[in-house]
Structure 1
Amino acid sequence: MITILDIAKMANVSRTTVSRVLNNSGYVSEEVRERVMKVIKETGYVPSQQAKSLRTKETKVIGVILPRISTETASKIVAGIDEVLSSEGYQILLATTNLQVEKEIEYLRLLVNRQVDGIIFVATNILPEVVKEIKQIKIPLIVVGQNMPEASSVYNDDYHAAKFLTEMFIHKGKKQIAYIGVSETDYAVGVERKRGYLDTLAEYEIEAQEKWIEIGSFETESGYQCMKKMIKNNETLPEAVFAATDRIAIGVMSFLKEKNIHIPEMISIASIGASDISQYVTPQLTTIDYENEKAGKAAAKLLLKNIKGETTKIEKIILSYRLREGNSI
């Protein structure tokens, strides 16, 4: 097995010089650098990552904490993260919490103990015990998906996206606009999207009616059941439904089709998420695209800035959105 000392002897230089060439640190003349690199290439020498880590105090590993590994949103965020970090020689270590706060805290501690160079935390809700844990972490950390005041965050403009969709319904002559959302424990999806909906109705002097508001979960079945409850409890249909997520919207559409309520002739549907499946339901769903891969890239780039010491302040990146028009309105 070739060692750094063997490389030094073959190149007729000191071990320190080889180390400087490998780490691109300290002065080494171009002639000596070329001589060392020639030996490295000829021998196929690969430096020990463990030894390199001890010298540079870097592991070249980034921890990524996800609420769920199986969702389309998570996979796109991870794809963006990996594209940026792999180009800089980093590997990612994935951990999934299954929406359990105890797991979030456990993995935050575990990754710190594993001495990763930084953490990207894809959050669904921000509970006090998690905030307390994050405030104690000394390595660079970026939160994705929620705006956490205590940490640098990359998040979507949920409030204005919700306003945009609600206003779009209004401009198309809809006034009886229903909303099906999720629990307020998820601030971005549960609070900000509902707030955007309610504020827009108020701006257009349209009364928000409790009969047209249902709160469920992220599952498709929840959209189905919420729509079923809304229809059962009211003699008339709303003119439109704003679903907080694509999954909810698809559940809504499933129930309406079952009851032979035609979309969009009898009721319009729109949502947020731009999931792949939203393009293949009939009618094709009108939805807001957050381009989640961009969120992953933005988070990774901001983390690298922190790791390299280019910034030490808390930064906020609010991502843009775009409408992907289908045939559901």
Structure 2
Amino acid sequence: MATIRDISEKAGVAKSTVSRYLNDGYVSEATRKKIEKTIKKLEYIPNSYAQNLRLESNPTIGVIIPRFDSYSVTTTLQGIDKKLKELNYNILIENTDRNSKMEIEYLKRLAKMKVAGIILLATKITDEHIHVIEAIEVPVIVIGQEDKRLNCVVYKDYEAAFDLAEYLTDYHFSKIVYLGVDEVDEAVGVRRKNGFIDRFAQDHKNEVMVYHTDFSMDNAMHTTKELLNQIHPDLLICATDNIAIGAMKAIYEKNLRIPEDISLTGFGNYQISNYLNPALTTVHYDYNKAGHLAAENIVQMKGKKINSSTIKVDYQIMPKNSIDKSKRKR
């Protein structure tokens, strides 16, 4: 992605001269032709919106999200928005619909707009993400996925899953199923799953059977129906509360009871989870705080990149009534 600096170096003119040309200032005819030729060669696209952003009294932070229809995303956004308003920053939101290629495109687009920083709620981190983040002249903070080369705000997915499994080992369960998501998502798809499996493996008693769905309630419901046609677990652990809600509907449609026939857990402590019947055993993440921390730190960077660091947001196990208390070990 070409920048004004690239144009100035290729054309052999000062950055101020390129800026003057882009803003319709005076540039000699020979220099104008040289800059135009370089712009065409580098495929540089001047962005009028970027000029408008520079004229704003308050600087702008770009936020890239994977989807709007997610409790964790919207709650994180609320934390970001509230903190940015306190700090007199504007917010510009771009939605990728869980398309990692669009994440790359929005990183480039927001950099062209000359935002003061970018907060990325990533679905995954690839080498292409790293290359673009290192190339653009804008600081970036990632929420939800961890990479040692980047500034990140992450949840303790492995530790939280391990501790929820620790809580569940106080009960007698003979057939355990974990309903997770694809391993493309490092945080939820890999670390969360491994936390459960590793803790249950310590007892050498309970083998965890793993099934995959996606983040939607509908697909979780269909997957749960299919697995219930094959096996009858007495504990179903779900990677998110949304998945657990879909699973709950499937269980009830099979005329089974929660928790008497199947104990059920989620992950995330979504607001709706407390209104289910029974209320869902889950893990609480402070998504609002994660957004607050990301916003606070991106503003502290003041438009400059700093050495990479990782902030970890804590969690809390939330025991509710979706676990069969009669199975508790004496």
Give the TM-score of the pair, scaled to structure 2: 0.78
**How far off its partner does 1:151 sit?**
0.9
Q: Does 1:297 align with 2:289?
A: no
Deviates more, 1:125-134 or 1:59-68: 125-134
Q: Which amino acid aligns with 2:63?
A: V
**How far off its partner does 1:308 sit?**
7.1
Q: Which amino acid aligns with 1:284?
A: A
Q: Which deviations, in whole Å up to 9, do the C-alpha atoms of 1:170-219 show, x marking residues without a partner?
A: 1122242210000000000000111111101111223425xx32011111
Correspondence for 1:137: 136
Q: Which amino acid aligns with 1:203?
A: Q
Correspondence for 2:321: 327
**How far off its partner does 1:296 sit?**
0.0
Q: Is the 8 A contact 2:53 2:60 kept in 1?
A: no
Q: 1:108 to 1:51 in 2, by over 3 A?
A: closer
SS in 1 for 2:169: helix
Give the TM-score of the pair, scaled to structure 1: 0.78
Q: 1:52 to 1:169 in 2, by over 3 A?
A: closer
Q: Does 1:174 align with 2:168?
A: no
**How far off its partner does 1:222 sit?**
2.2
Correspondence for 2:105: 106
Q: Is the 8 A contact 1:58 1:117 kept in 2?
A: no
Correspondence for 2:241: 246
**How far off its partner does 1:299 sit?**
0.6
Runs of 4+ in 1 over 6 A off after TM superposition: none
Q: Does 1:126 align with 2:125?
A: yes
Q: Which deviations, in whole Å up to 9, do the C-alpha atoms of 1:44-81 show, x marking residues without a partner?
A: xxxxxx89957xx9961000000012322111111111
Correspondence for 2:258: 263
SS in 1 for 2:266: strand
* Residue segments in structure 1 that go unaligned for 5+ positions in a row: 1-49
**How far off its partner does 1:155 sit?**
0.7
Of all paired residues, the percent bearing the same amino acid is 36
Correspondence for 1:161: 160
Aligned equivalents of 1:317, 1:197: Cα separation in 2: 23
Match of 1:214 among 208, 211, 215: 211
Question: Which structure is larger by alpha-carbon Rg, 1 or 2?
Answer: 1
Correspondence for 2:187: 188
Aligned equivalents of 1:155, 1:175: Cα separation in 2: 33
What is the count of residue pairs matched by the alignment?
Answer: 273
Q: Is the 8 A contact 1:135 1:150 kept in 2?
A: no
Q: Which amino acid aligns with 1:228?
A: K
Aligned equivalents of 1:78, 1:220: Cα separation in 2: 21
SS in 2 for 1:206: coil
**How far off its partner does 1:271 sit?**
1.1
Aligned Cα RMSD in Å? 2.1
Q: Is the 8 A contact 1:59 1:115 kept in 2?
A: no
Correspondence for 1:71: 70
Q: Is the 8 A contact 1:59 1:116 kept in 2?
A: no
**How far off its partner does 1:305 sit?**
2.0
**How far off its partner does 1:142 sit?**
0.2
Deviates more, 1:216-225 or 1:200-209: 200-209
Correspondence for 1:35: none
Q: Is the 8 A contact 2:53 2:115 kept in 1?
A: no
Q: 1:52 to 1:153 in 2, by over 3 A?
A: closer
**How far off its partner does 1:254 sit?**
0.8
**How far off its partner does 1:249 sit?**
0.6
Q: Is the 8 A contact 2:236 2:265 kept in 1?
A: yes
Match of 2:221 among 219, 224, 235: 224
Aligned equivalents of 1:134, 1:158: Cα separation in 2: 24
**How far off its partner does 1:270 sit?**
0.7
Aligned equivalents of 2:57, 2:124: Cα separation in 1: 30
Q: Is the 8 A contact 2:53 2:114 kept in 1?
A: no
* Residue segments in structure 2 that go unaligned for 5+ positions in a row: 1-50, 324-330
Aligned equivalents of 2:214, 2:249: Cα separation in 1: 16
Q: Which amino acid aligns with 2:290?
A: A
SS in 2 for 1:171: coil
Correspondence for 2:37: none
